[in-house]
């Protein structure tokens, strides 16, 4: 079983693990939507609409942001939402959408909790 299949099996949409993880993100970090994708743009899991399309665009978004400042974590705010784009590992990128601005410490904690959940 490859990395992608293993990760998809851990957080399969509708599974108890997926629902628990989604609930924890919402309660602890105010995250309404999330997406996990490979750095090549393949979807792993998430609860955004059209995760296939968004996964394909995520590596390019991260690349464009790195032109502003090379970094593993980006926090983007719009009038309605706060987005986080972060690299969890050399193979996995995460996108979140919430309504509150997380501190950098909370972002690091979010990354660590997600890595533990995915066992990466």
- Measured CA to CA, the distance from residue 93 to residue 106 in angstroms comes to 17
CATH class of 3-118: alpha beta
How many CB atoms are located within 10 Å of the residue 107 CB? 19
Are residues 58 and 34 in contact, defined by beta-carbon separation less than 8 angstroms? no
Say what the pLDDT of residue 107 is: 97
For the chain, domain boundaries: 3-118
Structure tokens given for 91: 């193979």
Exposure string for 27-41, b = 16+ CB within 10 A, e = fewer: eebbbbbbbbbbeeb
User: What's the pLDDT band for 64 if we cut at 50, 70, 90?
Assistant: very high
pLDDT at 40 over 70: yes
Provide the β-strand partners of residue 84: 75, 96
pLDDT at 95 over 70: yes
- Measured CA to CA, the distance from residue 11 to residue 56 in angstroms comes to 19
pTM to 2 decimal places: 0.93
Mean pLDDT calculated for residue range 63-77: 95
CA 62 to chain CA centroid, Å, is 12
């Amino acid at each position: 079983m490859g990395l992608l299949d293993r990760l998809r099996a851990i957080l399969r949409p509708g599974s108890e693990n997926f629902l628990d993880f989604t609930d924890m993100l919402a309660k602890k970090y105010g995250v309404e939507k999330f997406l996990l994708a490979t750095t090549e743009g393949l979807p792993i899991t998430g609860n955004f609409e059209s995760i296939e399309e968004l996964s394909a665009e995520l590596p390019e978004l991260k690349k464009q942001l790195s032109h502003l400042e090379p970094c593993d974590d980006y926090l983007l705010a719009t009038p309605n939402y706060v987005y986080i784009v972060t690299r969890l590992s050399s193979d996995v990128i995460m996108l979140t959408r919430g309504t509150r601005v997380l501190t950098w410490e909370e972002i690091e904690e979010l990354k660590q909790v997600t890595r533990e959940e995915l066992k990466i």
